[in-house]
Structure 1
């Protein structure tokens, strides 16, 4: 249903420009292609796009050389966490004062030196685990679809001979920026937090650092660029603290509990129906 709605919205944007004599048909066609891709992205297509997007992002930043104190520290922190099941991760540091980090669907994880300056080792491990979680749970796949849908809408606008079209044309090269700026849902953030908390515990790292890391992020303010795609750190910190104290459970455990309750209710209904059928058969 989500895919159908997404496609309809994209196609609607195209219909608004399709019959205008001033429409740029090449751009309109590209917009239509992007709209379809947004819905039909395969895992292989996501991987290819992620590799290209990662390379583009790296080309726009100053990547820390292996001899840098930041690169050496990151290497020490990630240890042998380069392979998890079928997932392969790669890590680099951007030498920039910005407090930021992001992941791509191909396992790319980038951490800014500004974030490293702000966090302790275990707090950084939590952030790294969080980004790993977004990859493992395919949250980036959804972000790619959002970025493609945004691209389709921009091209549909750019296809018209208007002021809005001129503005949109200037943004056609901003796919990666749209991708990195697409916000995760609150559920996705919680799932990534849970993934990282489990990661911290399994590896024997100080799990309490998950809470202190989020509290530090909360001091940046709601308008900070990192929080545009990683919202509500204060509430997330409270939630993880509840888990550490045994007063709350992870999203996965909540889903498991809900499934057990649902399964029990379904079995009860089935048994009642079977009993009713046997009673009716006895009457006949």
Structure 2
């Protein structure tokens, strides 16, 4: 009985300090991407540290493409998007993963990874729109808010892991990356599409290229099953996204667009 009381006391004290850690950085600020005042429990500094930890895990599991030329191309396009975005308190990193799957992912703190398979089917304007979408996730802090939504268990464990430099930190990064790869809500994804094309346009690229890219993505998904980490699996139905982007750009919505978005 005594041992049980000691364990209970230890868990209560630990939980208290985890909650103090979480709420000590609590702040309300206006998010330019969402257009709303939002409560954030994760400071920019902590977000950057988390992103750095996750990026190490990504690069230990996935091989970066050994092509300085292509890495430079993606970084050059990405930095133009970063310059056009609404969040200037981060350093942005754009890297290419040597994988044929059509996919891209963003991490907290300014990290964007694009698969070679996506680059192979996309024009520069289309790449800019895709990276605009991923940067929009970062600006809107979608990954951080996703972690906040699962506060108690998930965020507490991640925060605790970030305070040590050992296997627990690796575990915390893995935990966060797993949550991100499960995908965002439909609302978050469509917002990233709308904000992303604005960034692409502001950076000097053709925002309508997002529509042509999504049409290509439709063809890719028709030809083969969607892989576990494919760009299609972690996003809303493509026809729904096309309709949303067209509305954002003032393009005409056809009856076919409407029917496709209902049937997918």
Band of TM-score, shorter chain: 0.5 to 0.7
Mapped pair 1:131 → 2:134: yes
CA drift of 1:138 comes to 1.2
2:164 equivalent in structure 1: none
Residue 110 of structure 2 contacts residue 138 of structure 2 at CA under 8 Å; is this kept in 1?
A: yes
SS in structure 2 opposite 1:109? strand
Residue 147 of structure 1 contacts residue 178 of structure 1 at CA under 8 Å; is this kept in 2?
A: no
CA drift of 1:53 comes to 1.0
Distance 2:217 2:228 in 1: 9
Distance 1:44 1:222 in 2: 36
Write 1 or 2 for the structure with the bigger share of helix.
1
- Give me the TM-score of the superposition, normalised by structure 2: 0.65
CA drift of 1:115 comes to 1.1
* Structure having the higher Rg: 1
Name the CA shift for 1:204/1:46 in 2 (closer, same or farther; >3 Å). closer
Distance 1:28 1:112 in 2: 44
1:108 to 107, 111, 131: 111
2:50 equivalent in structure 1: 49
Distance 2:60 2:72 in 1: 21
* Structure 2, unaligned runs of 5 or more: 24-40, 159-170, 254-264
Distance 2:51 2:17 in 1: 18
Name the CA shift for 1:98/1:246 in 2 (closer, same or farther; >3 Å). closer
Q: How many residues align?
A: 212
Distance 2:102 2:150 in 1: 23
Distance 2:178 2:184 in 1: 13
- Give me the TM-score of the superposition, normalised by structure 1: 0.61
CA drift of 1:224 comes to 5.0
CA drift of 1:109 comes to 0.6
Deviations 1:186-210 (A, max 9, x none): 2211221111111222233122211
Distance 1:91 1:204 in 2: 18
2:236 equivalent in structure 1: 231
Residue 151 of structure 1 contacts residue 172 of structure 1 at CA under 8 Å; is this kept in 2?
A: no
Distance 2:207 2:155 in 1: 42
1:185 equivalent in structure 2: 185
CA drift of 1:95 comes to 0.7
Distance 1:235 1:100 in 2: 18
* Greater mean deviation of Cα atoms: 93-102 or 33-42: 33-42
Distance 1:246 1:54 in 2: 37
CA drift of 1:229 comes to 2.5
Name the CA shift for 1:72/1:153 in 2 (closer, same or farther; >3 Å). closer
Name the CA shift for 1:175/1:97 in 2 (closer, same or farther; >3 Å). same
Q: How does 1:133-212 map to 2 (within 5 A)?
A: 133-145=136-148, 151=154, 174-212=174-212
SS in structure 1 opposite 2:232? helix
SS in structure 2 opposite 1:88? coil
